[in-house]
Structure 1
Amino acid sequence: MKIKYNRTSTINQDGERFKLDKELYDLTLFDKGVSGKIPFMEREKGKVLVDLVSEGKVTELVVEELSRLGRNTVDTLTTLKWLDDNGVNVVVKGMGNLQSRVNGQKNPIWNLITSVMSSLYELERENIMERTEMGRKMYVINGGKLGRKVGTVENRKEFLQKETNQKIISLIEKGKSVRDISSRLGVSSSTVVKVRKYHLS
């Protein structure tokens, strides 16, 4: 199945370019008026695409821009890796119809682009960590205290009630694998395993 996907931030954006060649695809999915801050796999149409890919029904995904596939660099990279792991060829029209796969094999140019994106993410992450650490130090210098209150611990119930962990539980109950859940939600495999252990015990 060949699918085209797009997202616009506001309802007033109707994605005219998106409509021009709809007849070329088996299915078109349009998340209209959806903030770019929402992870790809949590969007209404994004979820539809995830289910179709998980069922092995998608061979090619076409987008106007690479940024349509994630809320930030890491979310985009996570989505791209998940699509690649599931054998989906990604085509970016805004980059001269650049494809992630050519004749079933990974496109070396695509690998270069995603590597650059990974490097940019690492730089972004390091800058955030540096600013966060500086903020923590200033907070402590001004008399603030970090960490949990003395004598308190997070119990199992509180851990499982967290929003992300509730999503993990939902996917576990649907029979999804640890790797699949990790890719969908952008969490570590160890977190998924911990949630599964607590939920099933």
Structure 2
Amino acid sequence: MQQVVLFGRVSSTNERQSFERQINDLTQLATKLNYRVVSVFAEKISGATKNAARKELLNMIEFVNSNQIDKVLVTELSRLGRDTLQVLQTIEILNQNKISLYIQNYNIETLTPEKQINPMSQFLITILAEVARMERKTIENRLASGYMNFRNAGGGVGRKAGFRKSNEAMKDQYTEEIKMLKKGYSFTHINQITQTNKNTLTKLKKLFID
């Protein structure tokens, strides 16, 4: 019997939403497919929130990587988040650990029974990746335009001279990164989850781990 975890999410901006329906639907699906549900993870948070601030998502990733889990079940891809790039990064982490993502509304898995990339899911992911690239390009263009307009209007940019973030502030801001460093996660793995650059991770390791 394959071991699975369930993951649900609803937006924190809608007080009437509950992830109970998602979990019930996934539980019924698991029963129908003869899967053994090992654990359930659910969060009430905006899908646009960065992965590094989504403790339940990070807990789920850590759990499936540390246990004999075959699949993660979600009702739809957006339950992993609304930021396409971050969703793709989460899928890539699962793929690297040979853990399939089962997307209920598409009735599709990211891996085949042989733990290889599913061509159909890869096609879907490729489309999403292109959408993410277009979104990032649009945002970059807007930021560049706003930056130039601000500079042309005489605005100053950059940190104030002498500014240096305190160690306590660093510890508060990068709590999850520090936890992962203490558990021996590689810089590359942490960067994939949180997008924290390697220079910052090096500094965190020097301050709080070494």
Following the alignment from structure 1 to structure 2, what is the Cα–Cα distance between the partners of residues 125 and 47? 23
TM-score normalised by length of structure 1: 0.83
Conserved? CA contact 1:2–1:26, under 8 Å: yes
- SS of the residue corresponding to residue 67 of structure 2 reads coil
- Cα 1:68–1:41 change in 2 (3 A) is farther
Query: 61-70 vs 177-186, which deviates more?
Result: 177-186
Conserved? CA contact 2:171–2:178, under 8 Å: no
Query: Of the candidates 178, 186, 190, which is equivalent to residue 181 of structure 1?
Result: 190
| Structure 2 unaligned regions, length at least 5 | none
**What's the RMSD between the two structures over aligned residues?**
2.7
**1:150-199 CA distance string (max 9 Å, x none):** xx255474697175434322321233222332222123344423432454
Conserved? CA contact 1:65–1:93, under 8 Å: yes
Following the alignment from structure 1 to structure 2, what is the Cα–Cα distance between the partners of residues 140 and 159? 32
Given the alignment of the two structures, is residue 91 of structure 1 paired with residue 102 of structure 2, yes or no? yes
**1:49-89 CA distance string (max 9 Å, x none):** 12212203311011111111124011101111111111101
- SS of the residue corresponding to residue 138 of structure 1 reads helix
Opposite residue 4 of structure 1, the aligned amino acid is L
Of structures 1 and 2, the one scoring higher in RCO (CA 8 A, sep 6+) is 2
Q: How does 1:20-99 map to 2 (within 5 A)?
A: 20=25, 22=27, 24=31, 25-27=36-38, 29-40=40-51, 42-95=53-106, 97-99=107-109
Query: 129-138 vs 184-193, which deviates more?
Result: 184-193
- SS of the residue corresponding to residue 196 of structure 2 reads coil
- Cα 1:191–1:108 change in 2 (3 A) is farther
**Residue of structure 2 in register with 1:13 after alignment:** 17
Query: 62-71 vs 42-51, which deviates more?
Result: 42-51
Following the alignment from structure 1 to structure 2, what is the Cα–Cα distance between the partners of residues 45 and 78? 16
- SS of the residue corresponding to residue 68 of structure 2 reads coil
TM-score normalised by length of structure 2: 0.79
* Percent identity of equivalent pairs: 22
Query: 182-191 vs 160-169, which deviates more?
Result: 160-169
Following the alignment from structure 2 to structure 1, what is the Cα–Cα distance between the partners of residues 120 and 75? 18
| Structure 1 unaligned regions, length at least 5 | none
Following the alignment from structure 2 to structure 1, what is the Cα–Cα distance between the partners of residues 96 and 154? 48
Given the alignment of the two structures, is residue 126 of structure 1 paired with residue 128 of structure 2, yes or no? no
Following the alignment from structure 2 to structure 1, what is the Cα–Cα distance between the partners of residues 133 and 162? 32
- Cα 1:17–1:178 change in 2 (3 A) is closer
